[in-house]
Chain A
Amino acid sequence: MKKKSIFTLCACLAVCLALLWLLQALLMPKYMGSVKEGALIGEYYDNAGNNDVVFIGDCEVYENFSPITMWEEYGITSIIRGSPQQLIWQSYYLMEETFQYETPKVMVFNVLSMKYDTPQSTGDQTQREAYNRMTLDGMRWSGSKWNSIQASMTEEEKQWQGQWSYLFPLLRYHDRWSQLTGEDFQYLFKKDQVSDNGYLMQTGVKPFEDEHIQPPLVDYTFGENSYYYLDKMVELCKQHGTQLVLIKAPSLYPVWWDEWDQQMVEYAEKHGLLYVNLLEKQEEIGIDWSQDTYDAGLHLNVYGAEKLASYFGKILVEECGVADHRGDAEISTVWAEKVKTYYQRKEALQAQS
């Protein structure tokens, strides 16, 4: 009798846990429709391993560089680990996690996020929390993820002991039941790839017309916390024998102040790093701001991203000695598939716009 009741209890418990898991999967946002950026981090794992170059950073990497083009032109195997408003500690922990999956020759980090020193310095907390979610929810479980959560939480999240809601996202998305759409059921078990090796393609064109301006700052010195994580990146890459390359993508906004640039130049010099301010290379890249941007100069569209990839690929080959893998049959087969998807996507998007 006793045995039977314990068995019933365990069976019921198992069923309940399974149902809760299913509920959680259903309630989590799928990021398949209008806000595809949220799906980027999670897509890395299907394409991890064997990448010679890994880009890490915010929208200035995942909207601006096309890995497919670098493959086509130079045989470079590369992937982007980008997410919207990725902050520097998040970038660091993504980098740390990447080394669990592969050891690239080159790590490329976009330095715009140096401007944000704390989770509170990035503006609206609600928005901040949504960005945190997009960067963190997609990560698989690891010490890096946990540390990244601890470093990223806003005051409000801390107040709610938000770490538990990263562990069990149901606790975060519990109230989405009233907003579920067909998408949530459609992608319950299997999601589509929204990116091409981390690159989120845009095909629209919105020319740059007026200069974006921002008011001058009181203090241009990057924060201590930012430098702390940049130092850690340098250290981490050194440990793994990976070359760290710092870049500033050629996005015209947010403003990249000269004072900031100077600090990065000095930092790179001091640590023997390659730092490329691509804003200064616009002409060489050949960016046509009337054609190559989809949002008036903030980000490049696919035409700009291909140009930039073509330019930056050359730097990777010439200055970092990244190898050409087009002769490797196995790798070529994998990438041929990626190339195919890429052009299908491009066509489909072009047809839409």
Chain B
Amino acid sequence: MKRLIAFFGILCMVVGFAACSTPQTTDIKGTTPNVGNPGDPNAYYFNYKGTDIRLNGDMEVVLNALGEPKNYTEETSCAFEGLDKTYTYDSFVIQTYPKGEKDYVYAFWFLDDLVKTPEGVKIGDTQAAVEAAYGAEGYNGRNAYILKKDTYSMTIIQNDGAVSSIQYTITIG
């Protein structure tokens, strides 16, 4: 028994030393699929009449809450199965991609100033208002702010000093 205790003592010293001299490790990052995860709570979103419309959100939920869109079109890519769908409401447009049986939000953009981003920016706002909400980091130096988070991006385009378009999309790749 004495031997084992002695051995343990030496062992602990060595391990203790090692633990101090090596940096703390952070958690492991998983693999990211092409479009992120359906239902991702961290995705960009905006709120319309109490409904969150979120990148990678389930389109069925949106349809149930908002009702039928004003316009609806389907787009195929050459040679591929599955449809991208575009839903146009009065103040915004939502595009989806298919995954399994369901459709998920792939992009949305605003059409007028009746909808706002969660940070309060809307079409027609000044550059100062955009920078107040998002900072100047995403500015491309010419006409747009592009913000990115994982596979998500938000683009605010300006025309003559005023916001002309606000778009959210998943960056594929």
A positions within 8 Å CB-CB of B: 34-35, 37-38, 58-59, 63, 84-85, 120, 123-127, 130-131, 134, 209-213, 215-219, 253, 295-296, 298
Q: Least Cβ distance of B138 to chain A in Å?
A: 11
Nearest B residue to A59, CB-CB: B78
Verify A210–B79 contact, CB threshold 8 A.
Answer: no
Verify A211–B155 contact, CB threshold 8 A.
Answer: no
Chain B residues in 8 Å Cβ range of A210: 71-73, 88
Verify B79–A38 contact, CB threshold 8 A.
Answer: yes
Chain A residues in 8 Å Cβ range of B86: 212-213
Is residue B121 contacting chain A, with contact meaning CB distance below 8 A? Answer: no
Cα(A218)–Cα(B109), bound, Å: 13
Nearest A residue to B107, CB-CB: A215
Cα(A38)–Cα(B81), bound, Å: 14
Name A218's contact: one of B76, B77, B78, B144 (CB within 8 Å): B144
Nearest B residue to A297, CB-CB: B73
Verify A125–B75 contact, CB threshold 8 A.
Answer: no
State the main secondary structure of chain A at its contact with B. loop
Chain A residues in 8 Å Cβ range of B79: 35, 37-38, 59, 84-85, 130-131, 134
Which of B6-14, B59-67, B112-120, B164-172 forms part of the interface with chain A? B164-172
Verify B75–A298 contact, CB threshold 8 A.
Answer: yes
Chain A residues in 8 Å Cβ range of B80: 84, 127
Chain A residues in 8 Å Cβ range of B146: 218
Verify B173–A218 contact, CB threshold 8 A.
Answer: no
Cα(A296)–Cα(B72), bound, Å: 11
Verify A215–B167 contact, CB threshold 8 A.
Answer: yes
Name B78's contact: one of A84, A212, A216 (CB within 8 Å): A84
Cα(A216)–Cα(B107), bound, Å: 13
Is residue B68 contacting chain A, with contact meaning CB distance below 8 A? Answer: no
Verify A124–B140 contact, CB threshold 8 A.
Answer: no
Cα(A120)–Cα(B164), bound, Å: 27
Verify A211–B73 contact, CB threshold 8 A.
Answer: yes
Verify A125–B34 contact, CB threshold 8 A.
Answer: yes
Name B34's contact: one of A126, A134, A211, A295 (CB within 8 Å): A126
Contact with A along B134-160 (1 / 0, CB 8 A): 000000101110100000000101000
Additional pairs, 11, CB under 8 Å, beyond known A126-B34, A209-B73: A34-B81, A59-B79, A63-B78, A123-B173, A124-B34, A210-B88, A212-B86, A216-B157, A217-B157, A296-B73, A298-B75
Nearest B residue to A127, CB-CB: B80
Q: Least Cβ distance of A265 to chain B in Å?
A: 23
Verify A218–B157 contact, CB threshold 8 A.
Answer: yes
Chain B residues in 8 Å Cβ range of A130: 79
Cα(A56)–Cα(B149), bound, Å: 39
Cα(A85)–Cα(B78), bound, Å: 7
Which 7 pairs between the two chains have the least Cβ-Cβ distance? A84-B78, A59-B78, A84-B79, A37-B79, A215-B109, A210-B71, A218-B144
Chain B residues in 8 Å Cβ range of A63: 78
Cα(A215)–Cα(B172), bound, Å: 16
Cα(A341)–Cα(B109), bound, Å: 47
Chain A residues in 8 Å Cβ range of B167: 215
Verify A218–B143 contact, CB threshold 8 A.
Answer: yes
Q: Least Cβ distance of A117 to chain B in Å?
A: 14
Chain A residues in 8 Å Cβ range of B76: 295, 298
Cα(A298)–Cα(B76), bound, Å: 8
Chain A residues in 8 Å Cβ range of B173: 120, 123-125
Chain B residues in 8 Å Cβ range of A124: 34-35, 172-173
Verify B77–A127 contact, CB threshold 8 A.
Answer: yes
Chain A residues in 8 Å Cβ range of B144: 218
Cα(A131)–Cα(B78), bound, Å: 9
In the complex, chain B residues 69-123 whose Cβ is within 8 Å of any chain A Cβ:
71-81, 86, 88, 93, 107, 109
Name A296's contact: one of B74, B93, B143, B155 (CB within 8 Å): B74
Q: Least Cβ distance of A8 to chain B in Å?
A: 47
Chain B residues in 8 Å Cβ range of A126: 34
Cα(A38)–Cα(B79), bound, Å: 8
Cα(A253)–Cα(B81), bound, Å: 17
In the complex, chain B residues 8-27 whose Cβ is within 8 Å of any chain A Cβ:
none
Chain B residues in 8 Å Cβ range of A295: 74, 76
Chain B residues in 8 Å Cβ range of A217: 157
Cα(A203)–Cα(B157), bound, Å: 41
